[in-house]
Structure 1
Amino acid sequence: MRQELIRTLLLTTLAGCVALLAALVFSATVGWLVFCAGLMLQMLAHFRNFALLDRWSRAPEVDIALEGRGAWDGVFGRLYRHEKDLRALVERRNRRIDMLLAAIQALNDGVVLLDRNDQIVFCNATSEALLGLRARTDIGQSVANIVRQPEFVAYLTARDLSRPLILRSERNPGQVLSIQLISYADQRTLVQIKDVTQTDRLDRMRRDFVANVSHELRTPLTVLSGFLETLREIELTPDERQHYLALMSEQSGRMLSVVQDLLTLSSIEAAPPPEDGLIDMARILDKLRRDAESLSAGRHRIVVDADDACDLLGGEHELVSALSNLVSNAIRYTPAGGTVTIRWHANAQGGVFAVEDTGIGIEAQHIPRLTERFYRVDRGRSREAGGTGLGLAIVKHSLNRHQALLDISSTPGVGSCFAARFPGARVVTH
C-alpha cells in the first residue's frame, strides 16, 4: 500500500508538471484540463480494480485470473489465497463430517439426534429399522408423534438420564429394545437404541436355569431329609425301613443324574473341537437298536431303516451319546404298542439321522424351546419318564460341535421326528 501511495503521488506530480508546462505554453485553462485528465485516468484505473473486486465478492471463487495493477494485484493475490485455503478447509471439514455420518450409519446401535423441542434432526439406518423412523419424511417431526408407545413417551417426558428404558416393541412382537437418553450440546438430546432381544432371552434362560436347578435339587433333598428324620425318630419295621431306603436311593439317583448331566453339558461346552474319527454307522445303529429294545422291554416295535454305504466323521463317544438320547426319548414318550423308527441316510446336502415315533406328540409352541436347559412340556410326565430336562440341550450342543442341526417336527397325538442333519463334509460314502 505504501508503494501504491508513492506511485500515486509520483503520477500526480507528473500530471502537475505536464499541466504546468501546458499552462505556460498555452493557457491556465489548458493546464487545468491536463491536470484533471491525469487525475481522471488514475481514478478510472482504481475504479476498474474496484469493479473487479465488487463482482468477485458477489460470487467468490478460486480464480487465478483475478488480478489487478499495482497494489491491487497484491490485494487480489491475498484474496485468491484466502479463498483457496478456505475452500480447502471446508472440504476437509466436509470429508470429516461425511466420515462421521458414515460411521454413525454403520453402528449396530440406533442413533437419533433431537433438538430442544424433541424434533428429529438426524437418525441413522439402524434407528429407522428399530423404531420405524423414516429419515426422508420424519426429519423435523416430534419423535413422540412417531414412536407412540406410552412407555417411551413417559420416559422422554421424564428425562430420566440415569437409566435406560427397556421397551418391548409393538412393531416387532418378541423384540426387546434398550433406549437411553443422553444430553449434549446445550439441552439437545441423543437417543441411543440397542436391540437387546438376545440378551433378554439369555437373561430369562439364566433365571429359569437357576430356578430349575434349585427346584430339581430341592425336591429330592427335601424327600431325603424327611426320610432321614423319619428313620432317626420313628421305629420302623424292616419292610418299612427297606421301603424308605429304596425311596431315598431313588431320590439320590435322581440328583446324581441331574448333576451328571450338568457336568456333561459343561464339559461339552468347554471341550476343544471333536476329533474327526471315522464312525462305523452300521455298528452304531445296531447298538442303538439293541439299547432301544432293552429299554422298551418288548412294549414297542423298533424299526431300523439305514443306508449301510455311508459313515460319519466326528467324536464317536459324544455323537453316540447324543443319538442314543434321541432314541431313548422316543421310547419314553411313546405309549406301549407304538413304533419307533431309526433312520440313517445320505442326500445331496449331507447325512440325516432321524428318530420317528408314534408317541404323544408336542404342541407347536413348545418346539422352539425344547433344547433349553430344564425346559419341559409336562413336568409331571417328564419325571415319570425319568428325564432330567437336560438331554436335548446336550444333544444340541453335541451336534453344533459337529456342524449339525437338530430339526424337530411333531403333531400332537400322531408322533414326533427328531432329525440330526450333518453337513456333507462329515459324511463318508463307500
Structure 2
Amino acid sequence: MLARPLSLLALQMLGAFAGWWAGHWLGREHCAWWGGWFATMVWVVVDTVRARNVIDRLRAGRGLIHANPAQGSGPGGMWGDVLDRIVRCLRVQEQEIAECQSRLEHFLAAFQASPNGVVLLDVQQRIDWCNQRACVHFGLDAQRDIGQAISHLVRDPEFLTFLTDAHSGRELVMPARAQASQHPISLSVQAYPYAQGKWLLLSRDVTTDRRSQAMRREFLANVAHEIRTPLTVLSGFVETLQTLEPNKAERQRCLVWMEKQTLRMRHLVEDLLVLSSLEEQSVPTTRTRNDVRSLLDQVVADAHALSAGMGEEGKEAHQIDCIASAPVYLEGNTQELLSAMGNLVGNAVRYTPAGGSITVSAVLQDDGTLEFAVRDTGYGIAAEHIPRLTERFYRVDRGRSRSQGGTGLGLAIVAQIAHRHGATLGIDSTVGKGSTFKLVFPANLVYRGQDFHRSYNV
C-alpha cells in the first residue's frame, strides 16, 4: 500500500535535488521546486501510460484471460498487480461459468434421455425448452417453437382448459398430436410450478397402461361371466332337487348336468392357473430334450379318446393321421409342449364335424426349424377373427365353443408357451374348408438324429 506514495516521494526528492544542483551551477533560485514539479509530471505520465496499458489489456477480453504470462511483460508496478488480480478473478469467474454450463448441459441431457416429455414454460407459458419426447407427444419443433406460446401450438380444448387451471394440480389425459404416430396414443399431462411463475410440463405415454386396464376389466368381466353361467345352471338344478321330487331318471339327469358344469368350472380354473404360471416367467424353468415322436404319440392318443367320446357307440368320429420326421428331439419343457400341442389337436377334434379328417405333423425344415402342424377339415374361421384368436376368452362362435367344452383360454395358453420357447404360431383358415395351425420351433432347440420319414395311420 505504501509503495506507490513512497515511489512518488522518492522521485520528487530526486527531482528537487537535481533542480537544486542545476540551480547552484547556473546561479538561479527556485530550481529545486521546478525539479520536484518536473519529477511529479514524469511520474504522472508514466503512471498514465501504465493505466492505459491496463485498460487496453482489459479490453482484450478472453484473449487476456487465456494469454500466457510468459509471452509478454505486463505494465509492472501497482497497475501490473491490479491487472494480475483482475485476470485471476476473471479466470475464476470463467471457470465457474464453464462448470455451471456443464451442469446445465448434463441436466438437459438427462431431460432429453427421459422417457417422458418435458417442456419448460416461462411466466407467459411460452416454451423455453423441450425435449425430443415432448416434440413427439405434442407435435413440436425443438428449434422453431422456442419462445412460442404453447397454447398457440397445441389447440386441444381440454389442454387449453388444463393450462388455465394448471394450479389445481390435476392430471389431464389427452390424445397425442395426429402427426406424432400412426397409432392412437394417450398422454397423461401434468404441470408443476417452479421459479416464481414458471411451469414444468410433463407428458407420459399411458396408452399401454390404459390398454392393460381395459384388458383387465374385460378379463374380470369374462371370468365372472364364465363362472356365473355354470353356477346359474347348478343353482337351478339344486333348486329343482330341493323343491321337486324327481324320479330316479330325472335325478340322474340333473346330476349329470351338474357334473358337466362342475367340470367346466374346474377346467376354467385350471386353465387360468396355467396361464398365470406361464405369464410369471418369460422362459421355462426346466428344459429337457424330448423325442418328438413320443410327444406326437401322446397328443394323438388323447385326440383318439376325445374323438371316440364324440362318436356313436364309442366309435371314433374322425380320421386322424400322423406324419413325423424322425428321429428328432425338441428341447423344452415337456408339460408345456404337450399342453400346446394337445390344445391345438383338441381344438381340431372339437371343431371338426363327425366324418372329417385331422392330420398332425412334425416335420424338420431345411433351415433346421421344426414345424408342428395340425390340419383339419372343420368349420373354418373367417379372416377377421384370426388376429384375435389368441386373446383370452375370445370365441368365434360362443355357443358352439361352450357346447364343445371350451374355456376360451386354449389358444392364449398356446401363444404363451410358443413365446416362452421362441416359437411362432401361424394360423391359416378358410370358412367351410378347414384350418391349419402351425408351431415353428427355432433351430437352436431342434436336434436331429438319423433322417428318415414315417407316415402312418393311428
Matched-pair contact (CA < 8 Å) for 2:373–2:438: yes
Q: Say if 2:162 is the partner of 1:143.
A: no
Aligned-pair CA distance for 1:245? 2.2
User: CA-to-partner distance for each residue in 1:193-236, whole Å, 9 max, x for gaps?
Assistant: 11222222222221112111111111111221122112111222
| Equivalent in the alignment of 2:402 | 383
Compute the displacement of 1:113 (Å).
0.9
Cα distance in structure 1, aligned partners of 2:167 and 2:257: 57
Task: Check the 8 A contact 1:23/1:32 in 2, yes or no.
Answer: no
8 Å contact from structure 2 (residues 368, 446) kept in 1: no
Match of 2:42 in 1: 41
The letter for the 2-side match of 1:38 is A
Amino acid aligned to 2:342: S
SS at match of 1:328: helix
Determine which of 319, 333, 336 is the counterpart of 1:318.
336
> What is the Cα deviation at residue 75 of structure 1?
0.7
1:98–1:396 CA distance, 2 compared to 1 (3 A): same
**Residue type of the partner of 1:286?**
D
1:6 paired residue number: 6
Q: Which residue of 2 is the match for residue 276 of structure 1? A: 287
2:349 is the alignment partner of 1:331: yes
Tell me what 1:75 maps to: 82
Alpha-carbon contact 1:402-1:422 (below 8 Å) kept: yes
Q: Which runs of 5+ in 2 are unaligned?
A: 450-458
What letter is aligned with 2:4?
E
Aligned residue in 1 for 2:452: none
CA distance in 1 between partners of 2:338 and 2:193 (Å): 58
Equivalent position of 1:212 in the other structure:
222
SS at match of 1:428: strand
Check the 8 A contact 2:284/2:332 in 1, yes or no. Answer: no
Q: Distance in 2 between matches of 1:215 and 1:124?
A: 46
**1:397 aligned to 398, 407, 416, which one?**
416
Query: Secondary structure of the equivalent of 1:376?
Result: coil
Q: Which amino acid aligns with 1:144?
A: S
- Cα drift, residue 427 of structure 1: 0.5
Stretch of structure 1 that moved more, 211-220 or 14-23: 14-23
Aligned Cα root-mean-square deviation (Å) = 2.6
2-structure distance, mates of 1:377, 1:19 = 123
Instruction: Tell me how far 1:388 sits from its aligned partner.
Output: 0.6
- CA apart distance, 1:69: 2.0
What pairs up with 1:99-138 in 2 under 5 angstroms?
A: 99-138=106-145
Matches within 5 A, 1:6-405: 6-26=6-26, 27=28, 34-61=35-62, 62=65, 63=67, 64=69, 65=72, 67-159=74-166, 161-171=168-178, 172=181, 173-270=183-280, 273-296=284-307, 297=311, 298-336=316-354, 338-347=356-365, 348=367, 350-364=369-383, 366-405=385-424
**Superposed CA offset, 1:323-345 (max 9, x none):** 11012123333445555443323
Q: How many pairs align?
A: 430
Relative to the length of structure 2, the TM-score reads 0.85
Secondary structure of the 1:388 match is coil
Change (3 A) 1:24 1:322: same
Structure-2 change in CA distance of 1:326 and 1:240 (3 Å): same
SS of 2:191's equivalent? strand
Please give the alpha-carbon distance, in whole angstroms, between the structure 2 residues aligned to 1:174 and 1:293.
Answer: 47
Unaligned stretches of 5+ in structure 1? none
SS state at 1:244 partner: helix
Structure-2 separation of matches of 1:177 and 1:165:
8
**Correspondence for 2:453:** none
- The 1:166/1:334 distance shift into structure 2, 3 A limit, reads farther
SS for the counterpart of 2:147 is coil
Distance 1:303 1:90 in 2: 80
State how far apart, in whole Å, the 1-side matches of 2:184 and 2:386 are.
16
Q: CA deviation at 1:281?
A: 0.9
Which amino acid in 2 is paired with 1:241? Answer: R
SS of 1:137's equivalent? coil
Q: Is the 8 A contact 1:66 1:80 kept in 2?
A: no
In 2 relative to 1, CA 119–356 (structure 1 residues): closer, same or farther, beyond 3 Å? farther
Change (3 A) 1:415 1:54: farther
Q: Percent identity?
A: 41
Q: By how many angstroms is 1:393 displaced?
A: 2.1
Contact residue 20 and residue 30 of structure 2 kept, 8 A: no
CA distance, structure 2, for counterparts of residue 163 and residue 356 of structure 1:
55
Is the CA contact 1:295–1:331 (under 8 Å) kept in the aligned structure 2?
Answer: yes
| Deviation of the 1:35 alpha carbon | 4.2
- Partner amino acid for 1:76? L
Structure 1 range deviating more: 129-138 or 344-353: 344-353
| 8 Å CA contact retained: 2:19, 2:33 | yes
